[in-house]
Amino acid sequence: MIIDLKALRQKGIKSQQFEFSYLPDGELLSLPDAKFHDDVKVEGVVEVYDDEAYVSGKITYGIDASCSRCLAPTTKFFEIEFDEKFVSERASSADEDCLIYKKDKIELIPTVNELIMTDMPYAVYCKDDCRGLCPNCGKNLNDGACGCEIL
Ligand SMILES: [Zn+2]
Ligand SMILES: [Zn+2]
């Protein structure tokens, strides 16, 4: 997904809505055995200024993973609100801390990938009160007690 700022400026457009979806590389996911449930959806609006652009909106994604306690298959959905400022490579205010766009084009997917990686939880649970597996016999304690004496 590339936003062509030059084309928008030429049409005199200051603000433009957009929407796209894509399937990111599963390597983004730090959770073991996790994969994206479906395409990631991104919707938002870009505001165009002389040497800057603001992109804000919402990312929605789902992951299929194993419950971090009992290993049951678990699907979770997440939503990220974002608001990013992009500065032209030509702008004097451009420095390493800001997002830079080159040749008047904003390439959004790397930024979205970054936001997803930052947002990703370290663990997912099949339910909030998942009891996990018995550390002794390995029985799924959601199915009932195993009878082990846990010290
Ligand atoms: Zn669980
Ligand atoms: Zn047990």
pLDDT recorded at residue 119: 92
pLDDT recorded at residue 83: 96
6: part of which helix (H) or strand (E)? helix 5-10
pLDDT recorded at residue 28: 86
pLDDT recorded at residue 97: 74
Of 68, 105, 72, the residue nearest 86 (C-alpha): 105
Of 28, 21, 110, the residue nearest 63 (C-alpha): 28
Counting Cα atoms < 13 Å in the Cβ hemisphere of 75 gives 5
Model's pTM, two decimal places? 0.87
Residue 71 CA to ligand 2 center (angstroms) comes to: 16
For residue 67, which ligand has an atom nearest its CA? 1
Residue ranges covered by each domain of the chain = 2-143
Residue 68 CA to ligand 1 center (angstroms) comes to: 7
For residue 68, which ligand has an atom nearest its CA? 1
pLDDT recorded at residue 31: 86
Of 86, 81, 57, 62, the residue nearest 73 (C-alpha): 62
Farthest-apart Cα atoms in the chain, separation:
74
Residues of the chain with pLDDT under 50: none
pLDDT recorded at residue 151: 56
For residue 145, which ligand has an atom nearest its CA? 2
Residues 16-41 pLDDT 10s: 999 999 999 888 888 888 999 999 99
pLDDT recorded at residue 107: 94
pLDDT recorded at residue 98: 81
pLDDT recorded at residue 91: 82
The Cα–Cα gap between 126 and 72 comes to 7
